[in-house]
Chains A and B, each alone.
Chain A
Amino acid sequence: MDILNADIPIPRPEPMVPAALRVERLSKRYRLDSGEMLDAVSAISFEVNAGECFGLLGPNGAGKSTTINCVTGFYPASSGSVTICGLDVYAEPKRARQLLGVCAQDDTLDSDFRVFDQLVRYATYFRISTEEGRLRAHALLERFGLKEKANEQVESLSGGMKRRLQVARALISHPRLLVLDEPTTGLDPGVRRVLWEILMHERSAGTAILLCTHYMEEAERLCDRVGIIDSGRILDIDSPRALIHRHMGEDQVQEEVRPGVVWKRPPNLEDVYLKLTGTRLDLEAGES
């Protein structure tokens, strides 16, 4: 019997699904205005899979925004690689960015366009037809509670509405990877929670999310895994619970809430950050 032609099922390996985002030994070094060289990001590696929210937690200046600028291909990496769904962002920027939605830290809404028109215009940058762009814009404005503002100028929106619109714009292309740089900074707690709900819904729909934040509560609530970043280096990566367990154990933490008044509470990511770096994250995070 010819064994090669025998009717025996041949086990085949599962097709490898590339991670939505893979960052490998990424470094970014650049010259400051003062002339000094800064190692903004040093050999960081992490992955974000479909349906996962990965948080980069660190204070301002830790290297989060530089990482995002490298992930989007806007800054060239000094070394290392970034792939989005297997596509190298530097070798194939157009194809890679077709899968990417970005919400920058700054307000980057195009103030020359009204709310609705701006979404439709942005959709064209992804080769989405105007007709399809209109359909998607209607759906997003409805979902983000901005339908009534469709014909308003961007400048007339409140800070929270602008932020929601910016996240909506990032979703117009139905991205596989959504990158959010401090999406809730400066927002009041109510608006922040509305955005969190939207992001949790996106994650459950299969979108991979890279979330850069200095809000400990945001990282704990939204992120499946968190990378703690300081001075351009990732110090540890794991789920919030595992990080807390590994670095703080189960013991209660004593905190002096005001002079002479000490209370005990469960440890959180803020404590992990303090233990790993010796510095505290922005205290504003704990106020939300």
Chain B
Amino acid sequence: MRLPDSLWGVRCVWLRYFDVFRKSLRYYLVTTFSEPILYLLAFGFGVGALVGTLKVDGMEVSYRSFVVAGIVGQTVLFQGFFEASFGSFVRMYYQKVFSSMAVTPITLSEVLWGELLWDATKASAAAEVVTLIGVALGDFPPLALLSVLPLAFLSSLLFAGLGLTVSARSKSIDEISYPQYLIVFPMFLFCGVFYPIESLPAALQWVAWALPLTSVLSLVRTLTLGFPFQPWAVPIFVAWLFLLTVFGRRSMFARLVK
């Protein structure tokens, strides 16, 4: 079957990334999956044994379960952001993959969609592995494997959009470290990966809710642990998703095309 031109172009780009991934499978498996598993072991089992259970939104839940769900969110944040920031900077600036593909029948717009979709695929696959571990440990119901997948994919797309924005606006690869330390790590530490944000002072809770990871974690915990659904998480999530994917593509366009 012949795909419509634009979908065919995006598919070509995605397949290029998949081919690279497949050829260096061992390297990518280690770098993609080891980090969330290490966090899981250290915090889920190590700190989890000290804390025991937590009471959040009137629900009692083991700290390990709470952290496993948190690490699903942390995984989409790190994997989505780093692949789209450092990874895309290397492809754009050093390898010139974007500009060499965009003089073929594949347009630059398709190249950038392919980039974002690949970053999201890779990050959501890693998040699914964490979810699978959660299911295997009995922390999540088996259905979570299905329900988390679309959320993980869209969340990965959101953070890939952030990464692409950062990549496009960095003059050198070292400059990516600024948003890494000033945006990504604060999100990782203050948006509720390791503790409920209700523990924070009220002002910091507002800041945390303004950041995209908090809404992602809220939705993940609703789907995996049955936490009460917080309706405002959805518009915050959708707004960030739209803003960052559009902004990421536009920024990279502006960087490459005069």
Contacts and interface: CB of A to CB of B under 8 A. Distances in A.
Interface of A: 28, 30, 40, 66, 69, 72-76, 93-95, 97-98, 100, 102, 104, 106-113, 121-122, 124-127, 173
Nearest to B104: A125
B5 A94 contact: yes
A212 to B, nearest CB: 14
A110 B105 contact: no
A112 B257 contact: no
Interface stretch (B94-102, B148-156, B237-245): B94-102
B106 interface: yes
B105 A75 contact: no
Nearest to B171: A33
A126 B8 CA distance: 11
A113 B17 CA distance: 11
A98 B104 CA distance: 7
Contacts of B99: 74, 104, 108
Contact of B103 (A40, A72, A109, A113): A72
Contacts of B198: none
Most chain A Cβ neighbours within 10 Å, of B16, B96, B104, B108 = B104
B250 to A, nearest CB: 15
Interface in B74-98: 95-97
A126 B5 CA distance: 11
Contacts of B106: 125
A124 B108 contact: no
Contact of A125 (B23, B105, B257): B105
Nearest to A31: B258
B258 A98 contact: no
B14 to A, nearest CB: 12
B88 to A, nearest CB: 13
Contact of B104 (A40, A75, A111, A126): A126
A73 B101 CA distance: 12
16 contacts: A40-B258, A66-B258, A73-B103, A74-B99, A102-B103, A104-B100, A107-B96, A108-B100, A110-B16, A112-B95, A121-B19, A122-B104, A124-B12, A125-B104, A125-B105, A127-B8
B60 to A, nearest CB: 49
Given A93-B107, A104-B103, A127-B8, 8 more contacts: A28-B258, A40-B258, A74-B108, A74-B257, A108-B95, A110-B97, A112-B20, A121-B16
Given A76-B257, A121-B19, A127 B96 contact: no
Instruction: Please classify the interface of chain B as helix (H, G, I), strand (E, B), loop, or mixed, using the class held by over half of its residues.
Output: helix
A74 B103 contact: yes
Nearest to A123: B104
Contacts of A126: 104-105
Cβ-closest 5 pairs across A and B: A108-B100, A125-B104, A30-B258, A108-B96, A72-B103
Contacts of A94: 5, 9, 105, 107
A104 B96 contact: yes
Nearest to B21: A112
Given A74-B99, A104-B100, A110-B97, A97 B105 contact: yes
Contacts of A100: 103
Most chain A Cβ neighbours within 10 Å, of B5, B8, B99, B100 = B100
A253 to B, nearest CB: 38
Contacts of B19: 113, 121
A74 B98 CA distance: 11
A113 B96 CA distance: 13
Given A121-B16, A121-B19, A124-B12, A75 B103 contact: no
A85 B108 CA distance: 22
Contacts of A75: 257-258
B100 A110 contact: yes
B206 to A, nearest CB: 37
B15 interface: yes
B103 A106 contact: no
Contacts of B97: 108, 110, 112
B97 to A, nearest CB: 6
B95 A106 contact: no
A104 B258 CA distance: 16
Contacts of B108: 74
A74 B9 CA distance: 16
B173 to A, nearest CB: 16
A72 B256 CA distance: 14
Interface in B1-29: 5, 8-9, 12, 15-16, 19-20, 23
Interface in B99-125: 99-108
B95 A111 contact: yes
A97 B95 contact: no
Contacts of B105: 93-95, 97-98, 125-127
Contacts of A30: 258
Most chain A Cβ neighbours within 10 Å, of B9, B105, B108 = B105
A173 B258 CA distance: 27
